[in-house]
Amino acid sequence: MLFGGVILLASFAYLGILFAIAYWGDKRADAGRSIIANPYIYALSMAVYATSWTFYGSVGRAAASGVGFLPIYLGPTLMAALFWLVLRKMIRISKANRITSIADFIAARYGKSGLLGGLVTLIAVIGVIPYIALQLKAVSTSFLILLQYPEVAMPAKGQRVGLLQDTALYVALLLAAFTLLFGTRHLDATERHEGMVAAIAFESLVKLVAFLAVGVFVTFGLYHGFADLFEHAMRLPDVDRLLTLGNAAGTYGSWAWLIALSMLSILFLPRQFQVSVVENVNESHLAKAVWLFPLYLLAINIFVLPITFAGLMQFPPGTLDADTFVLTLPMAHRQEALTLLVFIGGLSAATGMVIVETIALSTMICNDLVMPLLLRWKVLALGSRSDLSGLLLGIRRGAILLLMLLGYVYYRAAGEAYALVSIGLVSFAAVAQFAPAMLGGMYWKQGTRNGALCGLSLGFLLWAYTLLLPSFAKSGWLPLAFIEEGPFGIAWLKPLALFGLEEMDDISHALFWSLLGNVGTYVGVSLFDRQGIREHAQAVLFVDAFKISGRGASPWRGSASLEEVMTLIGRFLGPVRTEDAFAQYAAGCGLRSWQALEPDAELVHFAETLLAGAIGASSARVMLASVVKEEPLGMDEVLNILDEASQLLAYSRQLEQKSAELEAATAELRAANERLQELDRMKDDFISTVTHELRTPLTSIRAFSEILNDNPELDARQRARFVAIIVKESERLTRMINQVLDLAKLESGRAEWHASELDLRTVIEDAVATTSQLLEERGASLTLQLPDEVPRVRADRDRLLQVLLNLISNAAKFCDRDAGRIVIALRVLPDALQVDVSDNGCGIDPADQETIFEKFRQVGDTLTEKPQGTGLGLPISRQIIRHFGGKLWVNSARGQGATFSFSLPLAGVAEEDV
């Protein structure tokens, strides 16, 4: 026997188990050893999708439309294939921004708009409350049916039970209490509820087992397997209609619409967002959920048709609602335990949905509806209250209670009006309105807040007009004429055939118009709208979620004090939790304690995200703005930032250019350095040579001086000879010093020049006169070959004389010892004068002809007598002639004398003058 007491006891025992699991799950989570951190629990928690609407309603829908129950499960199965693309992105975005609800998600995407968050919350609440009512109805109806056991009949209809006798009220209150107990035990910064998820996963398991048990009992207990059952079923009158598409199941179009609708629902129902996004522990769990979740849906649907057919065959038509077949079939066959299991299964399905849905909605109501209003309501002076975490919990608990009561009220008012399945689809259509703003927000950067606001509003209005109002009319709250003739008799405004669009079922029709209006407005307004800076930053953050690795702080400038920020966060999360969070953040920054934190943009961003977990993105922003003296970032400043960026770019280009120049300069320097080192080495050689040359006469001078000093007894002849050597060597030394200095002056360009117009002939004659004594000593004859007239040249007379003296004395030195002959010839060339000084000496080897012009390079004509001279005469002469733009060279062959020649250009001499 199943007494009411037994049923209640079983129910409470079951809820107790659930609570134990939840409690255990929370404890483990606090201890850091999560029990839900695996893909199987994750996939099972997703199965909160299957509510009592699935548990009882699928059979009801199958009885009415055959395979028409399938699209609701095909949609999610199809969407599961896209989970890795879409859901993973939602998870990534939500984790990065601490998003705790779908309202938060949309609000955050469109510039943390409080208005948008509120609108989404409103739509979700209005859309989902009937769905909650549906669960209450399912539980209370199944309870009432069970109470009549062993009689199998529908509970009495039409009679209004008193409020206090209404099972549904107690169910509602019980569920509310239960939800409060483990949905809002504490305020979690991330708003994750591990215990709840564990309980929900367990519930998914229970409802699956219960449904499979009934299926197995019906198929293999009442019949001999599927074949036998379907064979019997073929005798049913309507069976063709139920098993084929295109008639009872609706048109193919309806199928497509239903599949699309349920595809969107699996993503955007608040409870689905809660379990699959907010409660997700690890993105990678999705990989398994992608096939586990569809598998679950398949399993829970396998026995839908067998149970439907069995119910239709077992019970006389019209006596029982097909919705109750799952329960009434085991009842009719006195399977008490199975019946109880089914009831518990149905309870699981209902409680799971209600708990998650109300928790999700209460978060939205609290964060996106109540808090923004309270924060704006200055009278409450919320900003100055010390600890708001209690208030937050209070708001959430109140919201849960309110939702349950609203659900109950809706059930009381409309519970009998509409079939279960239809209410579910109405809810689906409502949350489908989130799709454009959500998907657009995730994949289209241009989507704007205004676009989302307008799209959502219009979609919601059209949904209300084409689905909600007609359901009201069907419930008798509005005249049926509203549906049949249109408002005020305007036919094209008929809510079920808007603008004359007929021949679609209600859901497809509503979905078509609402989504058309929604998407059209969203895209249209967005295209003609401009995003604010913050909005654009958020858009990039969302759309590029996979590209952005770290947190993306929007451009922010302002100042804040760490204490103020901490105090603010502390008000909502409690001081201990806040310090923990900041300490962790500080540790992440490599700081020893949170006191060392700098209140910079990063920290403010962190605080905002932390707060967003508790009170939602838009409220968090408002709150933080109160302590952070944020300087608004105007277009000017953004332009400035861009300008700075482009300047930086220019600088970097300049730097590149500079560095290239530097490299070139370095190369030049290196070359110059090498040249300098070469010159240095040459200078070293020169000095070394000069000292050597100077030491030579000095050696003789010193040696003879000492000899003369040490040998007073030397005879006069020898003494005179040694003194003569000393004098000669002294002269040589002096000459050498003078010439070295002279050459140094010439080479460095510091020599003085006294230019004048001169007749070269007179210079030659002077030179000959000066050297006449030397020539006489040598016994050399000299012949002058001078033209009668030569052009005057402008040059330094003394310098020219120096060259000539050098050449003549060289010639005198090297000419033939016995019959020396020297010829000096002056010739007038077209553009120059040329002087040749020839001797009849032994000549110079061709190999030595360039060497003799090098410093200190003398080529001795004899091995026994070192040539007199310094070895600097020719180099100096060449320098002088070059200065006047001329050339000095030698023509000679061994044994045939040598001719030294120099030329002086006629033009240009004057210009050379300094």
Partner 1 sequence: MSKRVLIADDEPNIVISLEFLLQQEGYQVEVAHDGQEALDAIERQPPDLVLLDIMLPRLSGFDVCQRIRANPDWSKVRVVMLTAKGREVEVSKGLALGADDYITKPFATKELLARVRDQLAG
Binding positions for partner 1, rule: CB under 8 A:
688, 691-693, 695-704, 706-707, 710-711, 725, 728-729, 860, 863-866
Query: How many CA atoms within 13 Å lie on the side-chain side of 472?
Result: 12
In sign, the C-alpha dihedral spanning 257, 263, 267, 272 is positive
* Nearest to partner 1 of 333, 813 (CB atom): 813
Query: Cα–Cα distance between 80 and 364 in angstroms, integer?
Result: 25
Closest CA to 68 of 235, 210, 257: 257
CA-based radius of gyration for the chain: 55
Residue 689: CB minimum distance to partner 1, A: 9
Residue 698: CB minimum distance to partner 1, A: 5
Residue 837: CB minimum distance to partner 1, A: 26
| Residue 381 per-residue DSSP state | -
Query: Cα–Cα distance between 747 and 298 in angstroms, integer?
Result: 104
* Nearest to partner 1 of 540, 725 (CB atom): 725
**How many helical (H) and strand (E) elements, i.e. helices and strands, does the chain have?**
37, 9
* Nearest to partner 1 of 482, 814 (CB atom): 814
Q: Which two structure tokens, joined as six digits, stand for 65? A: 């439309």
* Nearest to partner 1 of 777, 865 (CB atom): 865
Residue 701: CB minimum distance to partner 1, A: 8
DSSP 464-486: IIIIIHHHHHHTTSS-THHHHT-
Closest CA to 24 of 16, 13, 35, 14: 35
Residue 802: CB minimum distance to partner 1, A: 26
* Nearest to partner 1 of 409, 698 (CB atom): 698
Closest CA to 8 of 219, 170, 222: 170
Residue 862 CB contacts under 8 Å (≥ 6 apart), including other chains: none
* Nearest to partner 1 of 268, 704 (CB atom): 704
SS3 state of residue 83: coil
* Nearest to partner 1 of 687, 910 (CB atom): 687
* Nearest to partner 1 of 260, 701 (CB atom): 701
Q: Which two structure tokens, joined as six digits, stand for 663? A: 């490299």
Q: Please report, for residues 89, 134, 190, the alpha-carbon distance to residue 96 in angstroms, rounded to integers and kept in the order given.
A: 11, 35, 11
Residue 691: CB minimum distance to partner 1, A: 7
Residue 732: CB minimum distance to partner 1, A: 9
Q: Which two structure tokens, joined as six digits, stand for 383? A: 């900003």
Residue 776: CB minimum distance to partner 1, A: 23
> What is the β-pairing status of strands 821-828 and 781-785?
parallel
Residue 687: CB minimum distance to partner 1, A: 11
Residue 675: CB minimum distance to partner 1, A: 24
* Nearest to partner 1 of 536, 855 (CB atom): 855
* Nearest to partner 1 of 144, 698 (CB atom): 698
Tell me if 432 sits within 8 A of 157, measured CB to CB. Answer: no
End-to-end CA distance of the chain: 137
Tell me if 234 sits within 8 A of 483, measured CB to CB. Answer: no
795 DSSP β-pair partners: 756
* Nearest to partner 1 of 725, 758 (CB atom): 725
Q: 121-155 burial, b for 16+ CB within 10 Å, e for fewer? A: bbbbbbbbbbbbbbbbbbbbbbbebbeebeebeeb
Around Cβ 181, how many Cβ atoms within 10 Å?
A: 15
Residue 807: CB minimum distance to partner 1, A: 24
* Nearest to partner 1 of 251, 689 (CB atom): 689
> What is the β-pairing status of strands 793-796 and 898-905?
unpaired
Q: Please report, for residues 145, 712, 864, the alpha-carbon distance to residue 331 in angstroms, rounded to integers and kept in the order given.
A: 10, 160, 147
* Nearest to partner 1 of 713, 818 (CB atom): 713
Residue 696: CB minimum distance to partner 1, A: 6
Residue 747: CB minimum distance to partner 1, A: 23
Around Cβ 556, how many Cβ atoms within 10 Å?
A: 17
Residue 814: CB minimum distance to partner 1, A: 16
Query: Cα–Cα distance between 795 and 755 in angstroms, integer?
Result: 5
Query: Cα–Cα distance between 537 and 111 in angstroms, integer?
Result: 8
* Nearest to partner 1 of 719, 883 (CB atom): 719
* Nearest to partner 1 of 593, 699 (CB atom): 699
542-550 contact pairs (CB < 8 A, 24+): 542/93, 542/108, 542/109, 542/441, 542/442, 543/441, 543/442, 543/443, 543/444, 543/445, 545/89, 545/92, 545/93, 545/96, 545/442, 546/89, 546/92, 548/96
Residue 851: CB minimum distance to partner 1, A: 13
Q: Which two structure tokens, joined as six digits, stand for 57? A: 């309603």
* Nearest to partner 1 of 718, 896 (CB atom): 718
Q: Which two structure tokens, joined as six digits, stand for 715? A: 């005879």
Residue 866: CB minimum distance to partner 1, A: 5
> What is the β-pairing status of strands 629-630 and 558-559?
antiparallel
* Nearest to partner 1 of 551, 702 (CB atom): 702
Residue 706: CB minimum distance to partner 1, A: 4
